[in-house]
Structure 1
């Protein structure tokens, strides 16, 4: 008995030591993961500013304003010093700042339903980004800090308002590590000279960053007049001051495309803030390259930079360690999710990306469409961005990652830099109207005192007729809800196939439905049929083959 008590005491002592070490580790994580806000000069008088509502959904603060247009896009104009801009940005769009964070966190909970893992992820991201402020310019720290005063207190369990809003600017970068979840997979291209109908530069892009349809519905066209640098326009969302697609008053455009990256080992400058610095401070390609070269990033990225001054576009390819500039030396340029420069083309990661992902296929389809269209135009660019077919117009199923239009894009946009015009997509996805903005006219306004349209309605590109078809209606009604509808019994397994018969994932969804019920004989033919379709990635093909093998086990 005495010996048993001694063993028990020893065991409890070991458990106590482990618990103590674990507690110290958690305390350490909590301390090092705290990010202090930047020091703001003055007395924070900007926080006393109040927005005035001049009409339903139309708000102003001084010359700054915020409204929703008839096409469903939010529009915002902000000016001033960094902290002032951030405060005004947040106050004008306060409801959307809160709503956007709710949508973002809700989608993260869907993708990672384990509370324990989410808690670990919170501490990991906090630790990972503990040095983030060292890599973010003071100007953008202050702007983000200003926005954070309008963030919700509901999510303080994740971190302070400032820390959360700052960390969200790394969301695109973190998406690199989650590419199997199809968070990032963009397409962009440009034509000029003999490749364009009027010889001017035309840039088109799909921003395929998907964290749920709710997150994508509140797009903001932000027109920014900073106290330093150039005026610019950006397609963005509430609470976000980085740039993923934008054009400045000098006709310089920037769009970003994710490339294959190793899992990051530490914080650096978020891609969106590198793009923001380029759009705010560069007037030509050489200045854009110099800015990109000066910043350390923790993921690999392609920046497609178009320049009215140079009447051409190049791709700045940047890794955490190196930089290269890809110039095709012709009048067209294409970009998906792999590198093309001599410096990076044959790197191990890039070769794997080309061989295993949907990037190379999508690149071929993009090239095929642009060249068969002849001399390019804005309308033809929109047509390419809307394309949901495979090579040679093959039906590869709606929503296939190999298609240019995967029905996940946050936005699509077409830039005409010499004219300082841009066309922005409206819902649904790239198939709705493309609304035109003339930056010269927008920035010539001294505020907006009445709730009126600022887009050039005469240049609106009509919606694609595909959205009126029964095929699209049926697809849109079940998209991303197939598994849930099956589980609820509100949709029969074969209905999934009938609605999208050429999409390999339709068969996987039905196969998984039977597999979970251990009805392997019913699951097997669906997995086998999936293999006969155009599968997006090598990884997905391997998973199907593994499931087939499991179903065939005696």
Structure 2
């Protein structure tokens, strides 16, 4: 090589090293920037006397602390009563439910590890969420930051690599929103509805909902029925989990109910007030629909959501529909209301994204199925409401397989709940999903148990609704086998394709899994047969149908 060429080569090499050095410095600067952004300082608390409080353990299923108490019901549900100022009630909540707070974080972290096996990508996700939620503290009321900070004192120290306890617990309140945004093309759909006036027996006002938020089976094991008596606003109840102070389903002392349903949304540019904290604020401070609308309108959100709000004061329910840019209200002007995962209000229903949601998701199908069942329940009751929430069939009673997203009951619910706002009664499902018995709580009676010091059952046994008879059927037992097969496949195991299909023969996804397994077993002809059979079944979404068609093309089918 000539001296000139060596000189050119040396210069190119030096330039490349300089470029690489600059890139490494930029990456380091980005990393430092993300680390700094992911840091969230806790609120300043002037009175921390609650830190010194200690719970009294009466038994392994009942604790109390001053006027607050925690109970494990015979139904398997956990029950909590907490009162006081924001930081105080947060600390007391954490002290009474410490085991639940830590266990739920274990469950949540285990599910994240399943979804994202790579340690590197999990750490990257941490900084992505930190960047995404960089403005979160500015979007949360001081009252709720103080309460969350109080609860966070009970969090485990073993997840310090993710963030401080306060950072983690605060960020978990945005988990619903982030999960909603990231899987916007494949929403798992919640369903809610209500009847009143002539559509209910004795003109009862009844609202029911399924909360289909799935973060693994263990996440739903420790449902917490929380009764909160804050120092300002109304006392209220919610169905929640350890460490979570927001609301997804609840009713307050004024007979106002709130449930949330995700709608189609674009990936947002950054954080805003988590949906659950908007719902919580409505529960705590709204006594009627007008006040609920005002609160929802005062908060910026970064995902699209529907709030079904029922009001004893107004004797009806409406859906407050909200996007990051706009708010509209759907008033059915009739004696029933239905809410799935698409907008119905005059303006937001016209959005192109909403029209796409109606055309391509399972939302409209479930909506029509509720309409069918409400037409049959002309004088609706609590029992009929629960039967609708438990319905696993398709339109006109079609067998669409157990677990289908087009069913009202997809057999994944964290909980199902039914309210009678006029009577301040609420029924909550017990495991599994909404198949177990529904137990009833009387808000007026529970709030009178302030200062409870001895263990007792607080459910109203006279209103107990028995478990679903579906659980005694061979079909249900096969479905449990189907779920076990799915888990084995996720864990990298092998299952005979025909066994998968036999476990849930009316469900399109059973044939998809069988086809995928046949591909793994290097049997493309069998895979094509299973994929073709899947296309003859009731497929939940347009996207899933396209995915099956693409698999067929890949292996020479048509």
Same fold (TM over 0.5): yes
Give the conservation status (yes or no) of the 8 Å contact 2:497–2:518.
no
Hey, what does 2:536 align to over in structure 1?
A: 532
Q: 1:235/1:489 Cα in 2 relative to 1: closer, same or farther (>3 Å)?
A: closer
1:73 to 67, 72, 77: 77
Give the conservation status (yes or no) of the 8 Å contact 1:200–1:311.
no
Give the conservation status (yes or no) of the 8 Å contact 2:182–2:267.
no
1:492 deviates by 2.3
Hey, what does 1:448 align to over in structure 2?
A: 452
Hey, what does 2:44 align to over in structure 1?
A: 39
1:101 deviates by 0.8
Q: 1:486/1:347 Cα in 2 relative to 1: closer, same or farther (>3 Å)?
A: closer
Give the conservation status (yes or no) of the 8 Å contact 2:261–2:307.
yes
Partner-residue secondary structure (3-state), 1:345: helix
C-alpha distance in 1, partners of 2:447/2:382? 22
Q: 1:483/1:550 Cα in 2 relative to 1: closer, same or farther (>3 Å)?
A: farther
1:488 deviates by 6.7
Give the conservation status (yes or no) of the 8 Å contact 1:186–1:207.
yes
Give the conservation status (yes or no) of the 8 Å contact 2:139–2:273.
yes
C-alpha distance in 1, partners of 2:550/2:312? 51
1:489 deviates by 6.1
Give the conservation status (yes or no) of the 8 Å contact 2:184–2:264.
no
C-alpha distance in 1, partners of 2:180/2:377? 32
Q: What are the within-5 Å matches in structure 2 for residues 163-202 of structure 1?
A: 163-179=167-183, 184-202=188-206
Hey, what does 2:290 align to over in structure 1?
A: 286
| 2:476 aligned with 1:472 | yes
C-alpha distance in 2, partners of 1:100/1:262? 29
2:27 to 10, 13, 22: 22
Q: What are the within-5 Å matches in structure 2 for residues 124-135 of structure 1?
A: 124-135=128-139
1:175 deviates by 2.0
1:353-384 per-position Cα deviation (integer Å, ceiling 9, x unaligned): 00010000000001111111221000000000
1:12 to 10, 14, 17: 17
Hey, what does 2:63 align to over in structure 1?
A: 59
| 2:226 aligned with 1:204 | no
Q: What are the within-5 Å matches in structure 2 for residues 434-513 of structure 1?
A: 434-479=438-483, 481-482=485-486, 484-485=488-489, 491-513=495-517
1:132-156 per-position Cα deviation (integer Å, ceiling 9, x unaligned): 1111000000000001111111111
1:231-250 per-position Cα deviation (integer Å, ceiling 9, x unaligned): 00000000000000000000
Where structure 1 has 5 or more consecutive residues not aligned to the other structure, the ranges are none
Hey, what does 1:543 align to over in structure 2?
A: 547
| 2:228 aligned with 1:224 | yes
Q: 1:158/1:481 Cα in 2 relative to 1: closer, same or farther (>3 Å)?
A: farther
Count of residues in correspondence between the two structures: 553
Hey, what does 2:127 align to over in structure 1?
A: 123
C-alpha distance in 2, partners of 1:182/1:431? 25
Q: 1:424/1:25 Cα in 2 relative to 1: closer, same or farther (>3 Å)?
A: same
Partner-residue secondary structure (3-state), 2:434: helix
Give the conservation status (yes or no) of the 8 Å contact 2:50–2:91.
yes
Q: CA RMSD in A?
A: 1.6
TM-score, normalised to structure 1, is 0.97
1:221-263 per-position Cα deviation (integer Å, ceiling 9, x unaligned): 0000001000000000000000000000000000000000010
Hey, what does 2:315 align to over in structure 1?
A: 311
Q: What are the within-5 Å matches in structure 2 for residues 6-405 of structure 1?
A: 6-42=11-47, 44-179=48-183, 184-405=188-409
C-alpha distance in 2, partners of 1:110/1:104? 10
2:525 to 509, 521, 525: 521
Give the conservation status (yes or no) of the 8 Å contact 1:175–1:184.
no
1:438 deviates by 0.3
1:294-317 per-position Cα deviation (integer Å, ceiling 9, x unaligned): 111001100000001111000000
Give the conservation status (yes or no) of the 8 Å contact 1:207–1:411.
yes
C-alpha distance in 2, partners of 1:77/1:325? 33
